[in-house]
Amino acid sequence: MMKVFISAKLPALGTELLDQAKITYAVYDGPGLISKTELLKQTADCEVLICPLSTTVDQAVIDHAPNLKLIANFGAGFNNIASDYAKQKNILVTNTPLVSTNATAELTAGLIIALSRRIVEGDRVMHAQGFDGWAPLFFLGHELKGKTLGIFGMGQIGQSLAEKLSAFGMQILYTQRHRLPAEKEAALQATFVSKAELLAQADILTLHAPLTPETTHTLTADEFAQMKSTAFLINAARGPLIDEQALATALKNNELAGAALDVYEFEPNVTAELKTFSNVILTPHIGNASVEARDQMAEIVAKNAIAQLTGGHVEYVVN
């Protein structure tokens, strides 16, 4: 009997560890993302499912896999898994937290710099018509020094970003449900404010909150109306934190100066109107897409699979 099914190709380190442990496994290597039909077929008798965020593991999949004991999600999030139902069935669900912190914070910082200095716009110009030469008022952007960075969700990624961009001379404001200890705020040079204050004061607003019923559509037309018309919005967290149609309307009405998105409300689809703005950067969910982060993620899911099958300790259980 196959012990492990992997619903997408992993970095080689993951399968190397399974090979070393002499664990039998199969990997989906077909075109595109795995279909629901194929997932049901392949998980029917396996004990461990290793899957990326793009694989939906709902109640039907869980019910169809009577031997399943562990769902090891390749990603920090786990919204793709019916984790509460899995718990009812005594199936562990794990994720890969922390290892993607630096990669996602770096990507966010890159989006902030690219948007503020119009780097992507400039690249498009040079790949098309080019330019006539240097001129005093040509292609002006904004420096980060002296600007206010508003962080919605000061978890590990938000804190890593604060450390990085405070070095650029930015003022750091943040909001979340619980305030950080005073010593942590001092170390990060960050000030706790209300959501309303964050919206009103941020020159750049970046989202780093988990997706929950309470945080879904954190930003709607009402929130965009409270922001500076010169402000930029960044989202490398979860797409449904933003009402994308409301964002498109705000950009159209010049209520915001621009946006950079790495995640989407209806991922992998993008609200079509957002593609029409020159002041919007869109990247394909590459927050932790670094060789270093993905190798560490592969190591975690493989070691958890081995632990489950050999009586060891499974780490990062989320249910």
Q: What is the CATH number of the domain that holds 303?
A: 3.40.50.720
Q: Please say if 64 is a catalytic residue.
A: no
Q: What is the DSSP letter of 70?
A: E
Is residue 219 within 8 A of residue 226, CB to CB? The reply is no
Residue 317 lies in a domain: no
Domain co-membership, 79 together with 149: no
Domain co-membership, 304 together with 261: no
Residue 112 lies in a domain: yes
Domain co-membership, 132 together with 81: no
Listed as ranges, residues in the chain with pLDDT below 70 are 1
What range defines the domain where residue 302 resides?
4-99+291-310
Domain co-membership, 109 together with 209: yes
Per the structure, the count of domains in the chain is: 2
Residue 157 lies in a domain: yes
Residue 24 lies in a domain: yes
Amino acid 3: pLDDT: 93
Q: What's the rounded Cα separation, in Å, for the pair 21 and 289? A: 27
Domain co-membership, 110 together with 218: yes
Domain co-membership, 108 together with 246: yes
Nearest one of 241, 244, 314, 239 to 277, comparing CA atoms: 244
Q: What's the rounded Cα separation, in Å, for the pair 249 and 257? A: 12
Residues 6 or more apart from 8 whose CB is under 8 A from it? 27, 28, 33, 34, 51, 52, 54, 55, 74
Q: Please say if 179 is a catalytic residue.
A: no
Q: Which residue has the tokens 């950079």?
A: 260
Amino acid 162: pLDDT: 98
Cis peptide before 268 (omega within 30 of 0): yes
Is residue 244 within 8 A of residue 274, CB to CB? The reply is yes
Residue 319 lies in a domain: no
Structure tokens at 88: 């009812």
Domain co-membership, 153 together with 166: yes
Residue 142 lies in a domain: yes
Amino acid 1: pLDDT: 60
Is residue 172 within 8 A of residue 165, CB to CB? The reply is yes
Mean pLDDT of the residues in the chain: 96
Domain co-membership, 262 together with 202: yes
Domain co-membership, 186 together with 118: yes
Residue 318 lies in a domain: no
Domain co-membership, 84 together with 133: no
Q: Please say if 285 is a catalytic residue.
A: yes
Domain co-membership, 190 together with 50: no
Q: Which member of 117, 142, 217, 285 is catalytic? A: 285
Domain co-membership, 23 together with 41: yes
Amino acid 289: pLDDT: 95
Is residue 279 within 8 A of residue 122, CB to CB? The reply is no
Nearest one of 134, 107, 120 to 234, comparing CA atoms: 107
Q: Which member of 118, 238, 294, 299 is catalytic? A: 238
Structure tokens at 222: 């009402």
Q: What's the rounded Cα separation, in Å, for the pair 121 and 140? A: 11
Q: Which member of 16, 106, 197, 267 is catalytic? A: 267
Residue 316 lies in a domain: no
